[in-house]
Structure 1
Amino acid sequence: MTPSLHFEDLSLSRGGRRLFSGLELHLESGQACALTGANGSGKTSLLRAVAGLCAIDSGHITFGAVDPAAARSTGLHLLGHLDGLKISRTAGEELVFWTGWQGGTASAMEAAVRRLDLQRLLDLEVRRLSAGQRRRLALARLLSSPRPLWLLDEPLSP
């Protein structure tokens, strides 16, 4: 079952400062939302709260009929502004590790490599990849282990 994403009267503070309050959002399967705002306005904190990594002050985050723990553990990808890649591994090793860790398949991984044109990079250490190549590798992890809900922090940044 594909989770939807709903916020009701959501409030969040960080470091004693209220970032937002009364936030409402209803997204169903196939919909997207671009979250914009100034630096420090709470965009990353909101994504972390949806992923269950930080507590909200009030309100509710729900995933339709899907249990929140299940939605977060098997139905959600969070890709932060940092790529989270281990620089001493090759791109191929990193992709194999993350695909297995997140329950993906070899065929999905191969399709992601082709789709993002990573074939010639797989034998290179991650430390040797450009910022854009690292971002494509990080996105390949998401395609390799399909989960219906993607939370992308700074998705257009290399």
Structure 2
Amino acid sequence: MRGRHRARQVVNFLNLSTPLGLLIAVIGRARVRRGEHGLLYAHGYRVRFPVAGAFTVGNVVLTAQREGYLTGALLRHESRHATQYAYCVGLPLLVLYVLAAGVSLVICGHPASWNVFERLAHLEDGGYQRHPVRWRRRALDRAGRPQSESLPR
């Protein structure tokens, strides 16, 4: 394991985000095992919230899917969220994430598309699409152009 992953692992344990992730895994009756980059994978999560293919709390990546689901771009996306917990001193990230999701909803009607945390974790790696801002979408609709031409990068 690289030093940065070990440091993230220690920081997220001390800031209590990883213990919270493990508690959520137990409540959701997920099977926890060690994964790559100092992460813990919690497969078989049974609670229907949040609605996502996978989500991260501290260094714990939770998913309702079977083992083998957390690979490639999705795993890199969730790993970036684990790093965000370390940078945000753990649990404050939860409040900041909800606020960012609210801002994104106001901007485009989707909680992830303009969420700064999802964008920093590489939005597309997490399976999210980019949505245009509402006021731009309305202006383009009035101009008669299809929305697919107006998606910002």
Structure with greater contact order relative to length (CA < 8 Å, sep ≥ 6): 1
Q: Which has the higher strand share?
A: 1
TM-score range relative to shorter protein = under 0.3
TM-score calculated relative to the size of structure 2: 0.28
TM-score (ref. length: structure 1): 0.27
Name whichever structure is richer in helix by fraction: 2
